[in-house]
């Protein structure tokens, strides 16, 4: 499973300028974190952010005692920075983005604003269908904050063997709600592709991606908050 997340940013300078700053912040054996930049163009740059961390592993010996071993681990996040929204694409990202964002801030002389988008999933699915030029089925979705009664809200998960959007409209019938997640499916080269999208601008994708799917997801990404 591939995880992808998109963020918005206000770059203080050109992508090439930011790329030069990141190249000057490399990951080396002596550093605990840093960047490996692979490509820099006028409109985008690609690279990896690598973190080194130390931890201890406790193992049991054949003699009934325990040994504590010092270990070293590495965490890697692949990313692309764009000059147009969504400006940041993170692939197989870590649970916490604090260190990565802090290093990007440093590269931009702390003159950078990064914001998570709030995505209209219905718009995203519709635009993605145009991008892939295939019929897309929403076979599950999750809504929260559904107003059941005065002062009472609930979360609902709908699943179906057919598209659930029409049934959702009937069920909610104008009630206040927040559409949090959808799972969509479409057929590509006789294979069913399943994608989970969230209104936080994230996607869970198959381990083996169809050609051009990442670009199509980004191109169809809603360009404004909703």
The CATH code of the domain that includes 7 is 3.30.160
Could you give the CA distance from residue 29 to residue 125 in angstroms, rounded to a whole number? 43
Q: Is the pTM of this model over 0.85?
A: yes
Is 168 part of any domain? Answer: yes
Contacts of 113 (CB under 8 A, 6+ apart): 9, 10
Is 153 part of any domain? Answer: yes
CA 89 vs. chain centroid, Å, equals: 7
Could you give the CA distance from residue 173 to residue 202 in angstroms, rounded to a whole number? 27
Q: What is the pLDDT of residue 1?
A: 65
Is residue 143 located within the same domain as residue 198?
yes
Q: What is the pLDDT of residue 224?
A: 63
Is 39 part of any domain? Answer: yes
| Arithmetic mean of pLDDT, 23-30 | 94
Closest by Cα among 110, 90, 82 to 200: 90
Q: What is the pLDDT of residue 189?
A: 76
**Domain residues for 170?**
121-220
Is 98 part of any domain? Answer: yes
Is residue 126 located within the same domain as residue 199?
yes
Is 226 part of any domain? Answer: no
Is residue 6 located within the same domain as residue 78?
yes
Domain boundary among 71, 86, 115: 115
Could you give the CA distance from residue 77 to residue 3 in angstroms, rounded to a whole number? 10
Domain boundary among 83, 115, 147: 115
Angle between helices 98-107 and 15-23 (to 10 degrees): 110
Is residue 76 located within the same domain as residue 133?
no
pLDDT range class, residue 124, cuts 50, 70, 90: very high
Mean pLDDT of the chain: 92
Total count of domains within the chain: 2
pLDDT range class, residue 8, cuts 50, 70, 90: very high
Is residue 63 located within the same domain as residue 125?
no
Closest by Cα among 223, 213, 219 to 191: 213
Domain boundary among 75, 99, 115: 115
């Amino acid at each position: 499973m591939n995880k992808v997340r998109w963020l918005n940013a206000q770059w203080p300078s050109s992508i090439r300028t930011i790329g030069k700053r990141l190249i000057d912040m490399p990951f080396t054996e002596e550093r605990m974190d840093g960047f490996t930049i692979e490509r820099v163009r006028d409109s985008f740059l690609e690279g990896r952010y690598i973190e080194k961390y130390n931890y201890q592993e406790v193992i049991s010996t054949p003699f009934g005692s325990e040994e504590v071993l010092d270990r070293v681990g590495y965490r890697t996040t692949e990313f692309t920075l764009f000059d147009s929204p969504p400006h940041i694409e993170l692939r197989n990202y870590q649970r916490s983005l604090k260190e990565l964002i802090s290093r990007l801030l440093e590269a931009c002389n702390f003159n950078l604003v990064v914001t998570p988008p709030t995505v209209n999933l219905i718009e995203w699915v519709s635009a993605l269908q145009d991008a892939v030029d295939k019929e897309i089925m929403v076979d599950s979705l999750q809504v929260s904050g559904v107003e059941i009664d005065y002062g009472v809200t609930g979360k609902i998960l709908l699943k179906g063997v057919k598209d659930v959007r029409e049934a959702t409209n009937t069920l909610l019938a104008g009630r206040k709600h927040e559409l949090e997640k959808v799972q969509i499916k479409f057929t590509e080269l006789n294979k069913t592709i399943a994608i989970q999208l969230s209104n936080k601008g994230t996607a869970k994708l198959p381990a083996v991606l169809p050609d051009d799917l990442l670009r199509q997801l980004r191109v169809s990404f809603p360009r404004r908050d909703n």
